[in-house]
A and B are shown apart, each in its own frame.
Chain A
Amino acid sequence: MARWLTALVLAFTLLITSCAPTSPSPYEQVQQESSQRNAPPAVSRKATQGSEFNRFFPPQENGFERIYVQEKKGFAEAKLKKDGKELAMLAISDTISTPEAAAKFQHSTLQIAGYPAVEVGTTQTAVLVANRYQVKVLSRDPSFTASDRKAWIEKFDLAGLAQLAP
């Protein structure tokens, strides 16, 4: 009898502990949305190839090293280094896949090189070129400030990039 009781108690304990609620991840909804059948792709088929963006990046100069690190559809990114130290990331993305990224420029009062500009968080500065391509510089070292980010955005061939927009 005692043995049965123990088994019963153990079984209940297992049942209770296994049913203990685990707080759902905040990403569960987006996971469901983006993994179901016929989910919209994260990257639009119409997005410009990343390889098209490479030539508009700032040239290497004054000991600054620019290393291309990612080149995907609708996206290209390079790392900016000096004396072996990682200072910033430079990126161009096609907002055709991310309309909300383009929308954030609608209320911007800031301009860089004549393009609408925004500061995001504490490490990012971005401009929207031809209402389509986002150029972003992201600090990776505290010594690389917002004014450095602005200066490096201006070094991109933004006018050339604007020509790429259909």
Chain B
Amino acid sequence: MSEAIYKIVDQLPTGGITVMALKSLDFIIPGQWQNIVGFDNTIRHVTGETDPALIRQIGDRAVRLFNDKSQGYQRALWLYQTVDNTDTLLGAAALANKVGEKISFLGFLDKMTPKPERAQSIDLSIKLIVEILAFCQINGIPGNSLGDFLRALADYSGESLMRMAALICFDGLIPLGPDFLLKCLGTLQSLQPGDLQENPTFRAIGSVVPGGNPSGQLGFILQSFNAVQGWMNQFVSGHELTPQKVINSLQSFIELSKDNLDYLGAFLDMSTNYYYHTGVQTLARRLIERAVAEI
């Protein structure tokens, strides 16, 4: 049984490294993402309604919908939780309390290892697959899910667009460089079906990745990546994104020097859970949109 959805949304943080890291990407999609937290607050924000009795009615329905396992919301939450693997969080809470002080990760350098390109590429593509799977769990859209996802991707906004921006920047540009899409595709094409099992996140979510067997699953991942890379490419070129621009923006709150840039990707990976954070926000929004329309 999952924890209550209202508790999960109430517990989203208003600050900390994840929130600061996401805010640093505001320059790419100005104003698109506000860190809306709190269950009732999210209901007010999404619906524009203010009457407490009505808010309560919407909230009640949203809680019921979330708890009905057949509706897929709990599985979507599990996917977002799993892909961010919060166990690796590197004392994020402790670091986050240093208000007004830049975060330095120099003290943790010995605990971090930059991921090899291959592992990072697999990570990026698995996060993408999780986005597709969670999208379908939350919004439905059966049939040709991938095509519908692409149409919906073009309409991504708010926290969903921010999640994609962060995926491109923190899991693509920073650890893999400007040609991250090519590198990633190259890696995927060179993989043998069994190689996926090396990736801990894949091992955790493998049972829900379509494809039937490892080779079919690798096929699904390649197909999905191919389908989405055009959109990502356009996002990068349309916003003239470079690793340097992202790093410059991150420098407003993380202390960096030229010598430890290699570790920045590893640090972000270990200290943030942006996929979970914005994933819960997306899940809550969709749940509330449905609840208010159904009551």
Contact = CB atoms under 8 A, between A and B. Distances in A.
Interface of A: 25-27, 30-31, 34-35, 39, 41-43, 50-51, 67-73, 75, 77, 79, 86, 89, 91, 93, 97-98, 100-101, 120-124, 134, 136, 138-140
B47 A69 contact: no
A31 B63 contact: yes
A86 B71 CA distance: 26
B146 to A, nearest CB: 15
Interface string B251-295: 000000000000000000000000000000000001001101111
A77 B51 CA distance: 23
B49 A72 contact: no
Most buried by B among A27, A41, A98: A27
A3 B133 CA distance: 57
B68 A43 contact: yes
Given A71-B140, A72-B140, 15 more contacts: A25-B6, A27-B60, A30-B64, A31-B4, A31-B67, A35-B67, A42-B68, A43-B70, A71-B141, A89-B293, A100-B295, A101-B294, A120-B54, A124-B49, A138-B293
A136 B293 CA distance: 6
Nearest to B141: A71
B141 A68 contact: yes
Nearest to B148: A68
19 contacts: A27-B39, A34-B64, A34-B67, A35-B1, A41-B68, A42-B64, A42-B67, A42-B71, A43-B68, A67-B151, A69-B289, A70-B139, A91-B294, A93-B294, A120-B295, A122-B48, A122-B51, A138-B292, A138-B293
Contacts of B1: 35
A45 B290 CA distance: 18
B75 interface: no
Nearest to B69: A41
B142 A71 contact: yes
B279 to A, nearest CB: 17
Given A27-B59, A93-B294, A121 B51 contact: yes
B65 interface: yes
B61 interface: yes
Contact of B49 (A43, A51, A123): A123
Contacts of B49: 121-124
A30 B57 CA distance: 11
A139 B48 contact: yes
B203 interface: no
A75 B68 contact: no
